[in-house]
Amino acid sequence: SFHIEDDRTGLSSETLQRAIADNLYYIQGKFPEIATLYDYYMAVAYTVRDRLLHRWINTVKTYREQDVKVVCYLSAEYLPGPHLENNLVNLGIYDQVQQAVESSGLDLRSILAQEEEPGLGNGGLGRLAACYMDSLATLEIPAIGYGIRYEYGIFDQEIREGWQVEITDKWLRLGNPWEIPRPENAVEVKFGGYTEPYTDDQGDYRVRWIPHQVVNGIPYDTPISGYRVNTTSTMRLWKAEAPESFDFQAFNVGDYYGAVDAKIISENLTKVLYPNDEPIQGKQLRLEQQYFFVSCSLQNLLKIHLLRGDPIETFHEKFVIQLNDTHPAIGVAELMRLLVDEYLLHWQKAWDITQQAFAYTNHTLLPEALETWPLNLFGSLLPRHLEIIYEINQRFLDQVRLKYLGNPDKLARLSLIEEGGSKRIRMAHLACVGSHAINGVAALHTELLKEGVLKDFYDLWPHKFTNITNGVTPRRWMVLINPRLTQLITREIGETWITQLEDFKRLESLAEDPAFRQEWRRVKRAVKQDLADYIQAHQGLTLNPDSIFDIQAKRIHEYKRQHLNVLHIITLYNRIKHNPRLAVPPRTFIFGGKAAPGYQMAKLIIKLITSVGEVVNHDPDICDLIKVVFLPDFNVTNSQRIYPAADLSEQISTAGKEASGTGNMKFSMNGALTIGTLDGANIEIREAVEADNFFLFGHTSEDIVDLKAQGYVPKTFYNTNPALKEAIDLIASGYFSHGNRALFQPLVDQLLQADPYCLLADYQSYIDCQDQVGQAFQDQDTWTKTAILNVARIGRFSSDRAIREYCREIWWVNPVSIHLEE
Ligand code: 26Q
């Protein structure tokens, strides 16, 4: 039958072309002769958004009308990456939009390149939240992701004279077509002031909180599409604004400039993301940000619950709230405050609801990285929450006392308050006490949590602990970033793997097929050439696509040991200098990653990488056998060029330090082999791909503990290992710093005097393992077989698997399919 497609929903390339032209005119206010590429990007983005809105509205409507349980992901960070291309993939309209754009004389790749990604996170934790939102939508699980709409996301990184320079990320400058503000759903958040008791109508003791300041939270909603399903979830990010009424009338009568100041102060709240991926203790604004977005989100949830006509007592049956680390853990006290003070429930009822509603994911083992807040600061900002935390603590410790009679140490260790010099609130303890489930993000991590930082809680409540190993979405991390490999795989095994990654198993037998291996190699070579072209264009460096692309891309951190990688580079360099005819397989070392702006050692590691590159890349004796590249500004967009091009993935953290890692999964999914320690998810990846197909080195986490217990002396390794000594001495000599011996002195001293991450202890094992890598790469056919087996066996590390586990073990939620109304 004949029908005309609607310009807002139609999916044919003709309709899309018309819709793009229409949006260019009516939204951008431009005609083709004067439109910029960015105008076209906006027109295409709005065209795609129109196609999402229909599904989005039906999703929201379905959840509102039906009695469904909803997952609320609370995260201070999200790194979704560019939306446009992902939505094209998920909606299945990539080809049609490409055709529509080309018919208008444009090129889709250059339009996609216009998008500024939302850098609303630091690294792994924020990206995990984005992968989980993708899987939740794809699995049709009702979900909302709550967070903060930072005006400035993670800084952009430039490299000047080899050093990191931070540039403010003005991602909203040219507008954001993916968000819809909902000012009608604004909520008020209180800060400071004092509390006072009163007696309510029933004669019950109550407390009210008289704040010093009120800030408005305005929600901005972004649709998150699922892959080839109608489900389109919401990422709801809060922006802080000054409430007109509070500051402009009652509070500051007549004080116009004072009122403007108050507005500025309020709006500072969501100005900027803290660029640390480990907590910096005690920054008040950070606590304000955390409380702000958590209070907005919980108020919003309670409102949705009551709007659905449900009684407050059944809140936990309709919502489950996942705490992405302790950053939103104040939610435990806030939900108690809302239920007890505002909805007038009795404490015990409110506590049952709270405990059943919350679950907590821990992402770090380092005891120094556990979040605590000085009690004074906390009490002056959140006086009512401090009282509530005292009450929670008292009731909790009463329970503990009964169980561990006469063990005051236990009480002190479990308490929500750290005593001592200055008292602090332990956010991880609040999260544990207030949740029905606590999970680690990899098997080793969960075991170490149970033996280490959360041991006392594990002894008390073993049933609360579970492991859920992280995963990544194959939509973005395969289909979107590696169309060549996607096509090759799909041609052989069909496309079910895109939503059932375990189907990669069907590739196993193909590893034995020489013709398939040859095609695989062709694909890998083409993808490497793409990255080489990009680096040529942006850095003027010529790379050999037949060399080993050996890549380490992640935040710069001592525990991640980028400098161990550098010691290997210098070792290879020295070998060639000593023996110019040495047959070493050519290697290209590629690094990417940001250092926290205040983390001097991490910044010095970047300078070391770039300085070694300067020398090695231009030394004629090296004959281009070694190249060292530092790719600036590692973010989602840039990472998408990197993962597909790797032959070797560097996962070399000190065992016991990396909670999981997720980059390790992205590399492996794209056919890289891994060189890694027994840390985080590496252990499970190695088990999955089988030991022969993984380059293992280094001490185990137990070895590291023993080594330190016996009094680790890094100098011993230095003194007894000539190659190691030579490499370190070369750095210290000023060889890489134009004779400036002082430049890398702090780094050298740290390695020789303390070496808290045991680089020297793992050095020889790493070098031996890298020599095996070099050997193995010579046999391209076997290498390819191993790469295919890595992909065939990586299916477990899909975020779909992880989300299914959360649903079954922690959330108790089911899929709800969305039907579109015509
Ligand atoms: C806390 C307080 C104040 C300022 C900053 C912070 C802060 C911000 C971000 C603390 C930690 C983070 C991020 C941590 C993170 O990304 N952890 C990583 O989480 C991944 C997902 O589970 C794991 O794969 C990584 O192993 C882990 O390092």
pLDDT tens sequence across 475-484: 999 999 999 9
Question: Could you tell me which residues come within 8 angstroms of residue 523 by beta carbon, excluding any fewer than 6 positions away?
Answer: 484, 485, 488
Residue among 73, 75, 120, 122 whose CB has most ligand 1 atoms within 8 A, to mutate: 122
Query: What value, to the nearest 5°, has the Cα angle with vertex 370 and ends 366 and 371?
Result: 155
Helix 600-618 and helix 562-578: axis angle, to 10°?
A: 20
Give the strand pairing for 437-440 and 358-361. Answer: parallel
Distances (CA, A) of 758 to 604, 700, 713: 18, 11, 10
Q: Which residue has the higher pLDDT, 246 or 790?
A: 790
CA 455 to chain centre: 26
Please state, in angstroms and rounded to a whole number, the distance separating the CA atoms of residues 29 and 345: 53
Please state, in angstroms and rounded to a whole number, the distance separating the CA atoms of residues 636 and 350: 41
Compute the distance from residue 275 Cα to the ligand 1 centre, in Å: 11
Q: Does residue 439 form part of some domain? A: yes
Q: Does residue 479 form part of some domain? A: no
* 299-314 pLDDT per residue, tens: 999 999 999 999 999 9
pLDDT band at 368 (very low <50, low <70, confident <90, very high): confident
Same domain, 59 and 172: no
User: Would residue 555 show up in a list of annotated catalytic residues for this protein?
Assistant: yes
Q: Can you give the residue range of the structural domain that contains 26?
A: 1-65+90-114
φ, ψ of residue 631 in degrees (nearest 5): -85, 115
State whether the beta carbon of 288 lies less than 6 angstroms from ligand 1.
no
Residue whose CA is at the smallest distance from ligand 1 atom 25: 661
Q: Does residue 242 form part of some domain? A: yes
Catalytic residue among 149, 363, 445, 528: 363
* 746-766 pLDDT per residue, tens: 999 999 999 999 999 999 999
Query: What value, to the nearest 5°, has the Cα angle with vertex 359 and ends 356 and 364?
Result: 160
According to DSSP H, which parts of 176-279 are helical? 244, 256-268
Residue 49 has pLDDT above 50, yes or no: yes
Q: Does residue 556 form part of some domain? A: yes
Compute the distance from residue 266 Cα to the ligand 1 centre, in Å: 26
Detail the DSSP E strand segments found in 325-380: 358-361, 372-374
Residue 586 has pLDDT above 50, yes or no: yes
Q: Does residue 442 form part of some domain? A: yes
Please state, in angstroms and rounded to a whole number, the distance separating the CA atoms of residues 298 and 786: 48
* 388-402 pLDDT per residue, tens: 999 999 999 999 999
The atom number, within ligand 1, closest to the CA of 681 reads 24
**CATH number of the domain within which 227 lies:** 3.40.50.2000
User: Would residue 560 show up in a list of annotated catalytic residues for this protein?
Assistant: yes
Question: What is the token pair recorded at 346?
Answer: 């009795």
Residue in 799, 807, 235 with CA at minimum distance from that of residue 498? 799
State whether the beta carbon of 124 lies less than 6 angstroms from ligand 1.
yes
ipTM tops the 0.85 cut: yes
Residue in 4, 2, 9, 44 with CA at minimum distance from that of residue 23? 44
Please state, in angstroms and rounded to a whole number, the distance separating the CA atoms of residues 308 and 303: 9
Question: Could you tell me which residues come within 8 angstroms of residue 682 by beta carbon, excluding any fewer than 6 positions away?
Answer: 651, 658, 661, 664, 674, 676
State whether the beta carbon of 813 lies less than 6 angstroms from ligand 1.
no
Residue 251 has pLDDT above 80, yes or no: no
pLDDT band at 367 (very low <50, low <70, confident <90, very high): confident
Catalytic residue among 384, 426, 436, 666: 666
Residue 812 has pLDDT above 80, yes or no: yes
pLDDT band at 421 (very low <50, low <70, confident <90, very high): confident
Residue whose CA is at the smallest distance from ligand 1 atom 13: 277
How is residue 239 annotated by DSSP? E
Query: What value, to the nearest 5°, has the Cα angle with vertex 177 and ends 174 and 181?
Result: 105
Burial class (CB in 10 A: 0-12, 13-18, 19+), 490: middle
Please state, in angstroms and rounded to a whole number, the distance separating the CA atoms of residues 501 and 474: 8
* 601-631 pLDDT per residue, tens: 999 999 999 999 999 999 999 999 999 999 9
Q: Which residue has the higher pLDDT, 331 or 244?
A: 331
Which secondary structure element, helix H or strand E, spans residue 324, and what is its range?
Answer: strand 319-324
Catalytic residue among 236, 555, 607, 699: 555
User: Would residue 554 show up in a list of annotated catalytic residues for this protein?
Assistant: yes
Residue in 685, 617, 699, 619 with CA at minimum distance from that of residue 657? 699
Same domain, 71 and 99: no
Q: What is the mean pLDDT of residues 168-191?
A: 98
Question: Could you tell me which residues come within 8 angstroms of residue 96 by beta carbon, excluding any fewer than 6 positions away?
Answer: 11, 12, 13, 16
Same domain, 198 and 331: yes
Please state, in angstroms and rounded to a whole number, the distance separating the CA atoms of residues 200 and 520: 73
Residue among 127, 277, 467 whose CB has most ligand 1 atoms within 8 A, to mutate: 277
Residue 248 has pLDDT above 50, yes or no: no
Q: What amino acid occupies position 387?
A: E
Question: What is the token pair recorded at 296?
Answer: 């907005």
Q: What amino acid occupies position 415?
A: S
Question: Could you tell me which residues come within 8 angstroms of residue 812 by beta carbon, excluding any fewer than 6 positions away?
Answer: 69, 320
Compute the distance from residue 145 Cα to the ligand 1 centre, in Å: 17
DSSP output for 150-163: -SB-SPEEEEETTE
Residue among 363, 427, 757, 803 whose CB has most ligand 1 atoms within 8 A, to mutate: 363
Compute the distance from residue 324 Cα to the ligand 1 centre, in Å: 9
pLDDT at residue number 822 = 66
Residue whose CA is at the smallest distance from ligand 1 atom 1: 279
Please state, in angstroms and rounded to a whole number, the distance separating the CA atoms of residues 403 and 538: 64
Question: What is the token pair recorded at 437?
Answer: 């489930």
Please count the structural domains in the chain: 3
Compute the distance from residue 123 Cα to the ligand 1 centre, in Å: 7
Please state, in angstroms and rounded to a whole number, the distance separating the CA atoms of residues 433 and 640: 39
pLDDT band at 265 (very low <50, low <70, confident <90, very high): confident
- Considering Cα of 428, then 432, then 435, then 441, what sign does the dihedral take? positive
CA 234 to chain centre: 18
* 50-95 pLDDT per residue, tens: 999 999 999 999 999 999 999 999 999 999 999 999 999 999 999 9
Same domain, 310 and 246: yes
Same domain, 55 and 137: no
Q: Quick count: other Cβ atoms within 10 Å of Cβ 84?
A: 21
Instruction: Report the share of the chain in percent with pLDDT over 90.
Output: 93
How is residue 560 annotated by DSSP? G
Same domain, 35 and 180: no
Same domain, 372 and 432: yes
Give the 3-state secondary structure of 372-413. Answer: EEEHHHHHHHCHHHHHHHHHHHHHHHHHHHHHCCCCHHHHHH
State whether the beta carbon of 86 lies less than 6 angstroms from ligand 1.
no
Compute the distance from residue 154 Cα to the ligand 1 centre, in Å: 13
Q: Does residue 31 form part of some domain? A: yes
Helix 562-578 and helix 759-778: axis angle, to 10°?
A: 60
Compute the distance from residue 363 Cα to the ligand 1 centre, in Å: 6
pLDDT at residue number 86 = 98
Compute the distance from residue 236 Cα to the ligand 1 centre, in Å: 21
The atom number, within ligand 1, closest to the CA of 326 reads 1
pLDDT at residue number 246 = 52
pLDDT at residue number 2 = 62
**What integer best gives the mean pLDDT of the chain?**
96
Same domain, 290 and 226: yes
State whether the beta carbon of 278 lies less than 6 angstroms from ligand 1.
yes
Same domain, 452 and 571: no
Catalytic residue among 662, 677, 784, 786: 662
Question: Could you tell me which residues come within 8 angstroms of residue 755 by beta carbon, excluding any fewer than 6 positions away?
Answer: 712, 714, 761
Helix 347-357 and helix 383-403: axis angle, to 10°?
A: 90
pLDDT band at 253 (very low <50, low <70, confident <90, very high): low
Instruction: Report the share of the chain in percent with pLDDT over 70.
Output: 98
State whether the beta carbon of 680 lies less than 6 angstroms from ligand 1.
yes
Question: What is the token pair recorded at 225?
Answer: 């599409």
Same domain, 386 and 422: yes
Residue 420 DSSP SS3: coil
* 450-465 pLDDT per residue, tens: 999 999 999 999 999 9
Catalytic residue among 149, 316, 464, 554: 554
Q: Does residue 764 form part of some domain? A: yes
State whether the beta carbon of 125 lies less than 6 angstroms from ligand 1.
yes
Compute the distance from residue 301 Cα to the ligand 1 centre, in Å: 26
Compute the distance from residue 207 Cα to the ligand 1 centre, in Å: 36
Helix 780-792 and helix 759-778: axis angle, to 10°?
A: 110
How is residue 272 annotated by DSSP? B
Residue among 74, 75, 125 whose CB has most ligand 1 atoms within 8 A, to mutate: 125
Distances (CA, A) of 267 to 145, 217, 399: 22, 10, 42
Same domain, 37 and 100: yes
CA 504 to chain centre: 25
Compute the distance from residue 393 Cα to the ligand 1 centre, in Å: 26
Detail the DSSP E strand segments found in 507-598: 548-553, 587-592
The answer to whether residues 682 and 651 touch, using CB atoms and an 8 Å cutoff, is yes
Residue 252 has pLDDT above 60, yes or no: no
Burial class (CB in 10 A: 0-12, 13-18, 19+), 292: buried
Same domain, 214 and 295: yes
pLDDT at residue number 245 = 57
The atom number, within ligand 1, closest to the CA of 658 reads 26
The atom number, within ligand 1, closest to the CA of 283 reads 3
What is the biggest distance separating any 2 CA atoms in the chain, rounded to whole angstroms? Answer: 92
- Considering Cα of 374, then 380, then 386, then 387, what sign does the dihedral take? positive
The answer to whether residues 412 and 419 touch, using CB atoms and an 8 Å cutoff, is yes
State whether the beta carbon of 660 lies less than 6 angstroms from ligand 1.
yes
Residue 406 has pLDDT above 90, yes or no: no
pLDDT at residue number 4 = 78
Q: Does residue 800 form part of some domain? A: no
Helix 514-539 and helix 780-792: axis angle, to 10°?
A: 90
Residue among 276, 477, 682 whose CB has most ligand 1 atoms within 8 A, to mutate: 276
